[in-house]
Amino acid sequence: MFWQGGFTFYAAVVVPIGAEVLGGKAEQARITRQVAPWINWSGAVALAIFAVETLLSRSNRALNRGRWLTWLGMAVCLAALFAMYPHMDQMFHGEEAYLDSRSAFRPWHRAYLWILSVQWGFAILFAVLTLAVWRSADRKVTT
């Protein structure tokens, strides 16, 4: 939950406050540009841990199948984010470059945010399915 919890807190709290304190979206974007790779790499680590845990889980095949599908959704989204980031980062080299490419940047940024939102949805579903798998495993142990 470090990965998605961190993303949620950053998007909901840090970005709006940063834009307000720093005086605008352009200044906040300089921070986000540095934070995004950390969030994405934490996602890669989390996905590796999720894969191992799901692989080792022997309970409820249907729930595990759902977890694999949501894991795959998160992984595809993460791969897209990793692929998009270098191009978006290129648009931020220097103040003039950012101002010149703002209209070109907007569709990329919008797509990036949509992919993050879809990924967040997969992560929530994965968490719910994981809790269901663990609950199912606990019931087997106690009966």
Confidence at residue 119, expressed as pLDDT on a 0 to 100 scale: 96
Place 70 in a pLDDT band, splitting at 50, 70 and 90. Answer: very high
| Residues found in the chain | 143
Q: Count the domains in the chain.
A: 1
pLDDT (tens digit per residue) in 29-62:
778 888 889 999 999 999 999 999 999 987 778 8
Q: Which two tokens stand for residue 134?
A: 């663990």
pLDDT at 66 over 80: yes
Alpha carbon of 67 to those of 54, 62, 106, 124, 131: distances in Å? 7, 9, 33, 11, 11
The more confidently predicted of residues 70 and 6 is: 70
Give the mean model confidence (pLDDT) for residues 99-128. 87
**Per-residue pLDDT reduced to its tens digit, 79-101:** 999 999 998 888 776 555 555 56
Query: Residue 133: is its pLDDT beyond 80?
Result: yes
Judge contact between 77 and 119, C-beta under 8 A.
Answer: yes
Read off the amino acid at residue 34.
Answer: Q
- Predicted TM-score (pTM) of this structure: 0.85
**Domain around 44:** 2-142
